[in-house]
Structure 1
Amino acid sequence: MLVGVDGAGKSTAARRLANELTASGTPARYFENAGGRPIIDALAHRLGRRDGRHLLGNRGYLGVEVTIRWLAITRAVTLSTLTRRVAVMDRYTYCQYAIMRARGDSRPTRRPTDDQDLWEAIDTSGGHGRGFNRSDPQTGGHAERLVRLLYAPFPKPDATFYLAVPPEKAARRVQARGRDVEDPIYLAAFAAAYHTLPEFPGFTVIDASGNAEELLATIQSHRCPLND
């Protein structure tokens, strides 16, 4: 399982990892568990709207995004189980929780008492939403708790790698793809949101600021159940 902000290199690394595992005798398959933003935004542009959130509204967009990701993960889990292949996933449930916290989709319940400077420094979303969510760092806000109930049946990954990369570098990578752009301020909030997830201490954090070959080598150097 590979997670991280946009531009961290998740897709490239996940595809290569699936290929390497298969070549080494462990049948694997790559799955992209995206929330459908490019498709929704493209539809919005055709209809003369700024983006998907402008078209559907905050709640409508969140509902569609959560549903698309649920369908993607369900497909990945089902196919990998039926074919007995290792599922190398690009994004997972954790990505949805983090993006909701970064955008402020969950109604705040209380302000955390630690890491205060970090919360203050990124108290903005760069126009992507209402700002960084100040919900309970363990459970999130009401919307996140509902989404966690919906996603609860999904299995816990055998290994989760968080690809860490500076927001400015991630933004340049996204721009280089030529499909969309990301605000470094929002990416900083997104990265910080990952760190507030209760699952984060169980992630293996990897420096993803190097090239694709270096990133894949670093991932492969970590012993995990896939190698056993």
Structure 2
Amino acid sequence: MKQASDILGRVARSLGARRGTARLRAVALIGIDGSGKTTQAHRLADALTQAGLPATYHRNAGGRAWLGRLAQRLGRRDAQGLLGNRGMLAVESTLRWLAIARALLGTLLTGRTAVMDRYAVCQYASIRAHDGRRGERLARITYRLFPAPQVTFLLAVEPAEAYQRIERRGTDHEPIEYLVAADAAYRSLPEFPTFVVIDANRTPDEVTRQIRDHLAAWLPATGSPVSRPPLLAPLAAPARS
């Protein structure tokens, strides 16, 4: 773990050292389940690549859906029923940390723009939504090695709409109460003012347009980024009173 931390520390310093360039290096799409993150992240990676900025989609899931399906096969209600609330959050935090670390290392090696489907703040929101705030401080300490994306899009959708989308999808299930708690958790994060809030209640094409309009300054019609300093910086844990 120490060796991995040292490597990621070098990644963060390398990314931070590039502040003098205007290249878009990392974009994150976050939001509650059913907000359309995965669809939009795939579309964005394709659009950036077509515009002349090679990009790679990275799914930084914490494994909760997979754990939920495993729990049901074993006769448990959900992941919490299988591992307990603290156990589920610990496994989720670890799996997401590893996924983000792999994505960042890949970005450093290839030079491609990283389009992140979920990021570190998703873990903080998950912890808050599951009433596990005591674990948030530890999560922030372990995740603070990761540089913040230059742009973080929060796909904001009404929990009732998200619930209907998940039910139509039919691959998993989320209680409406959890979706409400998760929505509130994202909005309560200290990072919330830095998010670009996207109205994700609209159609997928309309959401895509909102995202592309915001990124127009980074990718003009010529496909060349404009001269604008990147915003990469290590995620710092907020002060505790």
TM-score by length of 1: 0.81
State the partner residue of 2:50. 23
Instruction: Using the TM superposition, give the Cα deviation of residue 5 of structure 1 relative to its aligned residue in structure 2, in angstroms.
Output: 0.6
**In the alignment, is the contact (CA less than 8 A) between 1:159 and 1:224 conserved in 2?**
no
Give the corresponding residue for 1:214.
206
2:80–2:88 CA contact under 8 A, matched in 1: yes
Following TM superposition, where does structure 1 have runs of at least 4 consecutive aligned residues deviating by more than 3 angstroms? 223-226
Letter of the 1:222 partner, please give it.
H
One-letter amino acid matched to 2:128: R
State the partner residue of 2:158. 166
Amino acid at match of 1:181: H
User: Which structure has the higher relative contact order (CA within 8 Å, separation 6+)?
Assistant: 2
Partner of 1:4: 31
Tell me the CA shift for residue 226 of structure 1.
Answer: 4.3
Deviation per residue, 1:106-161 (Å, 9 max, x gap): 2xxxxxxxxxxxxxxxxxxxxxxxxxxxxxxxxxxx31000100101001110001
Output the aligned Cα RMSD.
1.3
How many residues in Structure 1 have an aligned counterpart in Structure 2? 193
* Secondary structure of the structure 2 residue equivalent to 1:171: helix
Give CA deviations for 1:29-64 in whole Å, capped at 9, x if unaligned. 101111101221222222222222111112211111
- 1:36 maps to 63
- Rounded Cα–Cα distance in structure 1 between residues aligned with 2:71 and 2:153: 33
* CA-CA distance at 1:184 after TM superposition: 2.4
Please, which moves more after superposition, 30-39 or 13-22?
30-39
CA distance in 1, matches of 2:66, 2:160: 25
Alignment of 1:177-192 (within 5 A): 177-192=169-184
Select which of 112, 121, 126 maps to 1:94.
121
Q: Cα offset for 1:225? A: 6.9
Contact 1:18 1:30 (8 Å CA) reproduced: yes
Q: Which amino acid aligns with 1:8?
A: S
The answer to whether structure 1 residue 149 and structure 2 residue 141 are counterparts is yes
1:72 is aligned to 99
Unaligned residue ranges in structure 2 (runs of 5+): 1-27, 220-224, 226-241
TM-score, reference length from structure 2: 0.77
Give me the whole-angstrom Cα distance separating, in 1, the residues matched to 2:86 and 2:170: 28
Counterparts in 2 of 1:84 and 1:222: CA distance versus 1, 3 Å: same
Q: Which residue of 1 aligns with 2:90?
A: 63
Q: Which residue number corresponds to residue 82 of structure 1?
A: 109
CA distance in 1: counterparts of 2:143 and 2:61, whole angstroms: 14
